[in-house]
């Protein structure tokens, strides 16, 4: 089942903050976050694992509420380079070590000067 992302679109001014949410109706093992710019491949941002472990390589933060099967991505002091479409990808508890992800429909973020 595809996770649901909200909001569908966000417009910000440089320096403003944004939160993107991802929720699932299924028990989750992990949540990934990716950013995709127009015409380009999705780029990995962060992974959150059941139990609270968090791995990423950019200066962003995220949370994973296992009980509610929800994750949120926090973008603070946004920069023009943050513009793009953000996808969450979820792996379900019981899917083993496959790494198979089901992606949400995306949240389009536009940062204006």
Partner 1 sequence: GAGVSQTPSNKVTEKGKYVELRCDPISGHTALYWYRQSLGQGPEFLIYFQGTGAADDSGLPNDRFFAVRPEGSVSTLKIQRTERGDSAVYLCASSDPGQGFPGYTFGSGTRLTVV
The residues binding partner 1 (CB under 8 A) are: 2, 30, 32, 34, 40-47, 49, 55, 87, 89, 91, 97-106
Find the shortest distance in angstroms from Cβ 51 to partner 1: 11
Select 3 or 75, whichever has its Cβ closest to partner 1: 3
Find the shortest distance in angstroms from Cβ 49 to partner 1: 6
DSSP 10-79: EEEETT--EEEEEE-SS-EEEEEEEEE-TTS--EEEEEEETTS-EEESSS-EEEEETTTTEEEEEE-S--
Assess contact for 45 and 31: CB atoms under 8 A: no
Find the shortest distance in angstroms from Cβ 92 to partner 1: 12
d(CA 48, CA 31): 5
Select 4 or 16, whichever has its Cβ closest to partner 1: 4
Assess contact for 15 and 77: CB atoms under 8 A: yes
Find the shortest distance in angstroms from Cβ 103 to partner 1: 3
């Amino acid at each position: 089942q595809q996770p649901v992302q909200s909001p569908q679109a966000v417009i910000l001014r440089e320096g403003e903050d944004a939160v993107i949410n991802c929720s699932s109706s299924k028990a989750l093992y992990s949540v990934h976050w990716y950013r995709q710019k127009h015409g380009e491949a999705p780029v990995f941002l962060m992974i959150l694992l059941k139990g609270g472990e968090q791995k990423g390589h950019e200066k962003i933060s995220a949370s994973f509420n296992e009980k509610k099967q929800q994750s949120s991505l926090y973008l603070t002091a946004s920069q023009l380079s943050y513009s793009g479409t953000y996808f969450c990808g979820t792996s379900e508890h019981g899917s083993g070590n496959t790494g198979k992800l089901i992606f949400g429909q995306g949240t389009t973020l536009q940062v204006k000067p």
